[in-house]
Amino acid sequence: MSDELDVEAMLERFRERSAAVRNRNLPPIGGDERKMFVEQAQNDFQDFAIIGDAQSTF
């Protein structure tokens, strides 16, 4: 394992995570559980997309 920080690889992983959340299928749930699942998916997508869209500079 390298001791170097690969920021571009990290950003790419977050881009992949945001795409995965966006394309995630809804499980067969309804009511309040469905609402909570959808809200969590929206928050996950937003968090991953914000980091994935970042530009790194040192």
pLDDT single digits (tens) 1-58: 567 888 889 899 999 999 999 998 888 989 999 999 999 999 999 999 998 988 877 7
- Which of 5, 6, 7, 11 lies closest to 53, judged by CA? 11
| Amino acid type, 4 | E
Q: What is the pLDDT of residue 1?
A: 58
Q: What is the pLDDT of residue 46?
A: 93
Q: What is the pLDDT of residue 4?
A: 85
Q: Hey, where are the domains in the chain?
A: 7-52
Structure token pair of residue 56: 């790194």
- Which of 12, 17, 13 lies closest to 46, judged by CA? 17
Q: What is the pLDDT of residue 2?
A: 66
- Which of 5, 7, 8, 18 lies closest to 45, judged by CA? 18
Q: What is the pLDDT of residue 7?
A: 87
